[in-house]
Amino acid sequence: MSEPLWTPDPAAAARSEMAVFQAECARRTGRRLATWGEFQDFACAEYRTFWRLFLDWSGTLCEGDHEPVCLGDGVAEARFFPRLRLNWTENLLRTVTPGDAAAEAMVAVDENGGRRAWTRGALREQARALAGGLQAIGVRSGDRVVAYARHAGETVLACLAATALGAAWSAVAPDLGVEAVLARFQQIEPVVLFAHFDHAYQGARKGLEDRVRAVLAALPSVRAVVVLDGDGFTGDPPPGVALHTLDALRRRGAASELAASTWWPRFPFDHPLFVLFSSGTTGRPKCIVHGHGGTLLEHQKEHRLHSGFGPSDTLYFHTTAGWMMWNWLVSALACGTRIVLYDGSPTWPQPDALLRMLQREAVTVFGTSPAYVQYLKEAGLDPARDVPLPRLRAIQSTGSVLYDWLFHWLHEHVARVPVQSISGGTDILGCFVLGHPGLPVWAGESQCVSLAMDVRAAADGVARRTGTGELVCMNPFPSRPVGFLADPDGTRYRQTYYSQHEGAWTHGDFLTLHERGSARILGRSDGTLKIRGVRIGPAELYSVVLAMEGIVDAMALAQHAPDEPGGTRLVLLVVLAPGRVLDRPLMLRIKKELQTRASPVHVPAVIAQVQALPQTHNGKRSENAASDALHHRPVRNLVALRNPECLEEIRRLGGAQAP
């Protein structure tokens, strides 16, 4: 039998908050909870008791009745803490240790070496003042605000201030094209747009004013623009829209009642906090609403218990303001953890620029992705030798599957610390599998399933605690979405998560659950495309491609990348008008259109012309059949296809290389 990659020190594990809380649960319930298995079984079976105890133990600032913990038992319908009121921002900015106002809470670094830091005291004061300013321009609880923003300190500040007032926050990164931004923001109907007007990546500066103008022109609900950098528009702002700078709003709010007070408004547990986007296989991106209470409790559980974050930690997670890991990172403020933001290219101006930043900032937990680890490996870098990270105590990775050899590489070439592969997603704003301070790390595996989530592998109609199958969760948990926007009766929400396996949340991943409690994510089980960790909405891709002259039909597929073990690449199949041929100029034009109108991640690695795409007898296109053919797998449900003969052509592309 193989050995674990890393084994915890028993004394350190016993001091962890996971162990402390486990002991607390045993004491309060009188149960024997000596092992992780016993603790997890209890937390899943008696989730009401678990969440009640966790709420008390975590010191969450809240008011109202802690009972009932959960109304209903159905995983789709259950509602947690219906009589509780709280505020996510208040809990992030609370006093974690006495006198922590002087402690550095957030550092924002950019690729040009720029650095700004905020103490917890400064963050509290500025968030309050900005909230006062937003209140003065009419932002109210229940409003929605959006950000077209870089991964910078002012973005976090804007989010804290807006959500503190009860407005829901939603953000996208500046590399998203105008059409893709509007496909998201038009559904939200925001009242305020926070925007950066300047963006630097890899040494090249790019003005964003034209994009901001184009976005605003199609968002009539926006009453005000808050400029996150500089002075904003070079000419007049668009008519009907008030223009503010972040600093001016903050100064205006400094004299407000809110800025002078010590209280924050509190909201119902399910009050909308974030709107995140999930790119589906059809239609516009789904707008997933997450609530204050579910987000806060789930992140506290993942951060303090599973990850062991505390006031002595400095956390860096590589993300943009538009990915859910940004929200996850910001939430770590609630543990008293210092967070580090990085704006720019991780490999500019030097190949190891990001690592040098981690070293300078004495990062203790490094969150990364398999794609970046693969880059370090391919570039022949040896961080342990050249850029040692002596303070590092853990590496976390998410976005796609971290394969065994990358665990070993990290251990040998970065640091001999636990490598924690964590996985979940936008849908739950958290993780289903992640790390554990008291369990060993096995290469290629996540250490355990998330506490109090009854995660199983469903196959052949049975959901099992061990084995391989589709990831399902059998019990309710607080961080399920509050719902979707533009889905008044919840039909789309229920259809998305609860229609595949009765009485269970279906996540859209395949996984293996091992006897020893660890888990291995195997990839997507639904039609969602995930390329190098980024979810891509095929519908957005089709809207660009099918608008091009001469393209009759198109289908996007994720294919195992032949040159990158474990990696995936985007393949676009196109059907052209009669007589048209996919030549190089057309291929480059398709890529350019996608880069400009969608985003760089929508650009396929391979574009291939086919005569037809597989369709069912009902006329529905079958991505599954095309994907099976592309991967030379037996095609599922072949009899359901109207034109199975077209698969042979796709099968021949299976070995196609990027042109």
Residues that bind other proteins (CB under 8 A): 201-204, 345-351, 353, 375, 378-380, 563, 585, 588-589, 591-592, 595, 603, 658-659
CB of residue 586 to other proteins, shortest distance in Å? 10
Taking the complex as a whole, the smallest distance from the CB of residue 553 to other proteins amounts, in Å, to 22
**What is the spatial distance between Cα 49 and Cα 497, in angstroms, rounded to a whole number?**
25
Number of H helices, E strands in the chain: 22, 35
Identity of the residue, 379 or 552, whose beta carbon is nearer to other proteins in the bound complex: 379
> SS in 3 state form for 478-525?
CCCCCEECCCCCCHHHHHHHHCCCCCCEEEEEEEEECCCCCEEEEEEC
Residues 6+ apart with CB under 8 A from 68: 48, 81, 82, 83
**Closer residue to other proteins, CB minimum distance, 201 or 405:** 201
Closest distance of CB 181 from other proteins, Å: 21
Q: Which two tokens stand for residue 472?
A: 């399902």
Our CB check for other proteins shows the closer of 378 and 648 to be 378
Measured from the CB atom, the residue of 62 and 387 that comes closer to other proteins is: 387
Tell me how far, at minimum, the Cβ of 373 lies from other proteins, in Å.
12
Choice between 45 and 658, CB closer to other proteins: 658
Shortest CB 570 distance to other proteins, Å = 12
Its sign, for the CA torsion 425, 346, 178, 599, is negative
Q: Which 3 state secondary structure label does DSSP give 446? A: strand
The upper half-sphere exposure of residue 438, i.e. CA atoms within 13 Å in the direction of its Cβ, equals: 18
Using a 10 angstrom Cβ sphere, with 0-12 exposed, 13-18 middle and 19 or more buried, the burial of residue 617 is: exposed
Examine residue 349 and say whether the peptide bond preceding it is cis (omega within 30 degrees of 0): yes
φ, ψ of residue 66 in degrees (nearest 5) = -80, -10
Nearer to other proteins among residue 202 and residue 637 (C-beta): 202
What's the gap between Cα 654 and its chain centre?
A: 31
For residue 250, give the nearest of 124, 141, 341, 144 by alpha carbon: 124
Give the residue with the Cβ less far from other proteins, 618 or 657. Answer: 657
Using only C-alpha atoms, the chain has a radius of gyration, in whole angstroms, of 24
Alpha-carbon distance of 442 to 439, in angstroms, equals: 9
Question: Among all chains, which residue has been given the structure tokens 């997507």?
Answer: 524
CB of 71 to other proteins, least distance (A): 49
**DSSP secondary structure string, 9-54?**
-HHHHHHSHHHHHHHHHHHHHT----SHHHHHHHHHHTHHHHHHHH
Smaller CB separation from other proteins, 353 or 434? 353
CB nearer other proteins, residue 156 or residue 594: 594
When the beta carbons of 377 and 524 are compared against other proteins, the nearer one is 377
Q: How far is the CB of 380 from other proteins (least distance, A)?
A: 3
**Distance, CA of 266 to CA of 483 (rounded, Å):** 20
User: Distance between CA 181 and CA 178 in Å, rounded?
Assistant: 5
Helix (H, G, I), strand (E, B) or coil at 642: coil
Pairing verdict, β 505-513 and 224-227: unpaired
CB of 528 to other proteins, least distance (A): 24
**Closest by alpha carbon to 470, among 520, 512, 430, 529?**
512
**Residue 650 Cβ, how far from other proteins at the closest point, in Å?**
21
Closest by Cα among 289, 283, 290, 339 to 310: 339
If we measure between CA atoms, which residue out of 247, 211, 202 comes closest to residue 229? 247
Residue number with CB closer to other proteins (45 or 379): 379
CB of 107 to other proteins, least distance (A): 23
- Minimum distance of other proteins from residue 433's CB (angstroms): 27
Nearer to other proteins, 323 or 372 (CB): 372
Between 353 and 458, name the residue whose CB sits nearer to other proteins: 353
Q: Check whether the bond before 4 is cis (ω within 30° of 0).
A: no
Sheet strands side by side (includes 448-449):
423-425, 430-434, 448-449
Considering the complex, what minimum distance in angstroms separates the CB of residue 426 from other proteins? 24
Task: Please report how close the Cβ of residue 563 comes to other proteins at its closest, in angstroms.
Answer: 7
**Would you say 70 or 355 has its CB closer to other proteins?**
355
Helix (H), strand (E) at residue 551: strand 551-560
Q: CB 413 → other proteins: shortest distance, Å? A: 12
252 three-state secondary structure: helix
